[in-house]
Copies of this chain bind each other. A is one copy, B any other.
Amino acid sequence: MASRNNSKIAEQTTEERIKEAARKVFQKKGFAATRTRDIAEEAGINLALLNYYFRSKEKLFEIIMLETLFGFMQNLAFIMNDDKSTLQTKVELIASGYIDFIIRNPNVPLFMLSEMRANSGGLLKKLPIKQLVSNSAFLKQHRKAVEEGKIAEPHPLHFLMNLLGLIVFPFIGKPMLQGISGVSDNQFKKIDDAKEEVYPGLD
Contact = CB atoms under 8 A, between A and B. Distances in A.
Contact of A194 (B73, B110, B155, B168): B155
Interface residues of A, number: 57
Contacts of A155: 191, 194
Most chain B CB inside 10 Å of its own CB: which residue of A153, A164, A200: A164
A180 interface: yes
A110 B188 CA distance: 21
A59 interface: no
B164 A183 contact: no
A120 B175 contact: yes
Interface stretch (A8-16, A81-89, A91-99, A127-135): A127-135
Contact of A114 (B30, B134, B191): B30
A47 to B, nearest CB: 19
A170 B180 contact: no
Interface of A: 29-33, 73, 76, 107, 110, 112-114, 116-118, 120-121, 124-125, 127, 129-130, 133-134, 152-158, 160-162, 164-166, 168-170, 172-173, 175-183, 188, 191-192, 194-195, 200
- Give the 6 A-B residue pairs with the shortest CB-CB distance, closest first: A165-B169, A124-B179, A32-B33, A32-B32, A121-B175, A165-B165
17 contacts: A30-B118, A31-B33, A76-B180, A107-B117, A113-B173, A125-B179, A133-B180, A153-B194, A157-B188, A160-B181, A161-B173, A164-B169, A164-B173, A164-B177, A165-B170, A165-B173, A169-B169
